[in-house]
Amino acid sequence: MGTGILYVVATPIGNLSDASPRSIEVLRGAAIVACEDTRTTRTLLARHGIGARTMALHAHNERAAAAKLLAALRDGKYVALVSDAGTPALSDPGALLVEAAHREGIRVVPVPGPSAAAAAFSAAGFAADRFLFAGFLPAARAARLKALEELDLPWPVIVYEAPHRIAETLEDLAQRFGPEREIVIARELTKKFEEVARLPLGKARAWLDAEPHRRQGEFVLVLAPGERRPPAEVDAGRVLDALLEALAPSEAARIAARITGIARGVLYRRALERRK
Ligand code: SAM
C-alpha cells in the first residue's frame, strides 16, 4: 500500500453553512481528523453525521501529535487537518505537520475555504495588487508600537486582534498613522452580529464605544495603504567619502555596498580612485 494523503481543510469562521461540499466529503473520507479542539470540530462533524476519529493537534502538542499522524500517513491513511475556525496554519497550528509531510514525500492537498483575513480583505474595498498579512500584533504595548513602525506600507495591512486589546490597538494605530488614514474594522464575520465598518482612524474609537457589545467578538482590521514614497536618493560618492575618513577602501566599499545597494567591486574601484 502507498502512503496516505494529508488534506488541509478550511472550516467555517462562524457560519457553519460556509463549509464547502468538498470539505465535508474529505472529512467524511478521512481516517483521522486532526483538530485543535476536538469538541469544536465534533460540532461540525456531527452536523454532517460524520463519525470520523478525531485527534487533538494544537500549539502545545503539535510535535508529538504530528509524529503520530505521520505514522498513520505512512501507513496509507487519509488524514484531514482542520483548525477551530478558518484555514489551518494561518495564525493557527498545522505548519509543522504539513512541513513534515512534505519532507517525507507525502502528498499534501489543500481544501480551500473560509479565512477571516481573506473575508475581511474582500469586504474592505482597497484596490491593491498586494497586501501584507501581519497576523496578531504583539500583546505588550511597547512591542506593538515598535511592530507598527514596520507597517507603514503602500499597500493594505491585515491584522488579527483579540477583543480585550481592540480599543488599545485602534488608539495605537491612530497615533502611529494619523487620524485621516482609513481602517476597516471587520467583526464577527459570517455571524449574527457581523459588522464591517470603513472609517478614518480618528473616528474608530468612537465607533467602537458607540455600542456596548462592539468590544466583544472576533476582529480583523485592514489598514488602508500609506503614501507611496520614492526610494531615498543615496549619493554613493558622499557615502564613500565619509567612510574613507575612517576606513580602508575595501572596508569602506563593503559598507557602502550595504547602504547603497551598488556592487562592492564597483565601489571598491571608486574608493581607490577617490583615495588617489
Ligand atoms: N485560521 C484562522 C483563519 O483562517 O482566519 C484564524 C485563526 S486566529 C487563531 C483567530 C483570529 O482570526 C481571531 O482572533 C480574529 O482576529 C480572526 N477571526 C476568526 N474568525 C473571525 C470572525 N468570524 N470574524 C472576525 N475575525 C475573525
Tell me what pLDDT residue 1 has.
67
Whether residue 109 is found in the same domain as residue 121: no
Whether residue 219 is found in the same domain as residue 236: no
Residue 230: pLDDT band by 50, 70, 90 thresholds? low
Q: Which among 223, 46, 258 has a CA at the least distance from the CA of 152?
A: 223
Output the domain CATH number for residue 19. Answer: 3.40.1010.10
pLDDT of 229 over the 80 cut? no
Whether residue 177 is found in the same domain as residue 108: no
**Phi and psi of 253, rounded to 5°?**
-65, -40
Whether residue 213 is found in the same domain as residue 144: yes
Q: Domain end: 57, 80, 114, which one?
A: 114
**Phi and psi of 64, rounded to 5°?**
-65, -45
**Phi and psi of 95, rounded to 5°?**
-60, -35
Q: Which atom of ligand 1 is nearest to the CA of 10?
A: 4
pLDDT of 200 over the 90 cut? yes
pLDDT of 232 over the 90 cut? no
**Phi and psi of 127, rounded to 5°?**
-75, 105
Sheet holding 195-200, edge to edge: 132-136, 157-161, 219-223, 182-187, 195-200
Contact 123, 79 (CB under 8 A): no
Whether residue 133 is found in the same domain as residue 59: no
Question: How many structural domains is the chain composed of?
Answer: 3
Q: Which among 29, 24, 31 has a CA at the least distance from the CA of 45?
A: 24
Q: Domain end: 223, 250, 266, which one?
A: 223
Q: How many angstroms does the Cα of residue 194 sit away from the middle of ligand 1?
A: 13
Please, what is the angle between helix 264-275 and helix 236-244, to 10°? 60
What is the domain range of residue 174?
A: 117-223
Mutating to test ligand 1, I would choose from 8, 13, 81, 159 the residue with most ligand atoms within 8 A of its C-beta, which is: 13
Whether residue 86 is found in the same domain as residue 30: yes
Mutating to test ligand 1, I would choose from 83, 160, 184 the residue with most ligand atoms within 8 A of its C-beta, which is: 160
Output the domain CATH number for residue 181. Answer: 3.30.950.10
Q: Domain end: 83, 114, 145, which one?
A: 114
CB proximity list for 103: less than 8 A, separation 6 or greater:
none
Whether residue 197 is found in the same domain as residue 271: no
Contact 154, 225 (CB under 8 A): yes
Mean pLDDT of the chain: 94
Whether residue 44 is found in the same domain as residue 135: no
Summarize the confidence of residues 50-62 as an average pLDDT: 94
pLDDT of 249 over the 90 cut? yes
- CB atoms under 10 Å from CB of 253, counted, come to 24
Q: Which among 202, 46, 23 has a CA at the least distance from the CA of 113?
A: 23
Whether residue 128 is found in the same domain as residue 66: no
Burial of 246 (0-12, 13-18, 19+ CB in 10 A): exposed
What's the pLDDT tens digit per position in 95-138? 999 999 999 999 999 999 999 999 999 999 999 999 999 999 99
Q: How far apart are CA 8 and CA 121, in angstroms?
A: 22
Tell me what pLDDT residue 125 has.
97
What are the angstrom distances between the C-alpha of 112 and each of 14, 19, 21, 50, 185? Answer: 16, 10, 11, 20, 24
Whether residue 126 is found in the same domain as residue 217: yes
pTM score: 0.84
Give the DSSP H or E segment for 115: none
Tell me what pLDDT residue 258 has.
84
Whether residue 88 is found in the same domain as residue 44: yes
Whether residue 125 is found in the same domain as residue 208: yes
| Ligand 1 binding pocket, CB closer than 6 Å | 13-14, 83, 85-87, 90-92, 115-117, 160-162, 186-191, 218-220
Cell digits of residue 119: 473575508
